[in-house]
Amino acid sequence: MSFTNKPWDKAAVSRNLNEADYCKVCLIDMNEGEKIKAKCKLPVRHTPDGPYNLNAMGAAASVLAGGRGGIDAPSDKKRSAARKLIRLYRQAEREPPPSLRRVAGTR
């Protein structure tokens, strides 16, 4: 698994990817069938096969913890996304923020 520290532009990622690819780069996909970008939340990569973006991971952690008004998703989806994000932080040899661990229900 690889990581990058390139500048993050969520709007550009959304604009440059089709619906299916956009959902692949997101931590939360609430679609049931046809992919709709609005039902995919928290993108963390520029492309489906690209490296995870450390800046996007930080933004996702902040939103999961309630920053920028939080995220409109069921609590089980948020918890699952937080747990995946914690795994990514550890694989990147970074310490996950305490607020993210609280959302994940871990210590």
Instruction: Provide the domain limits for residue 36.
Output: 3-104
Residue 21 corresponds to which amino acid? D
Instruction: Identify the pLDDT of residue 67.
Output: 80
Taking each helix axis from N to C terminus, what angle separates 75-91 and 54-64, rounded to the nearest 10 degrees?
150
Q: What whole-number percentage of the chain has pLDDT above 70?
A: 99
CB 62 within 8 A of CB 70: no
> What does the pLDDT look like over 62-87, one tens digit per residue?
999 888 778 899 999 999 999 999 99
Is the pTM for the entire model greater than 0.85?
yes
Number of domains within the chain: 1
Average pLDDT of the residues of the chain: 93
Instruction: Identify the pLDDT of residue 68.
Output: 72
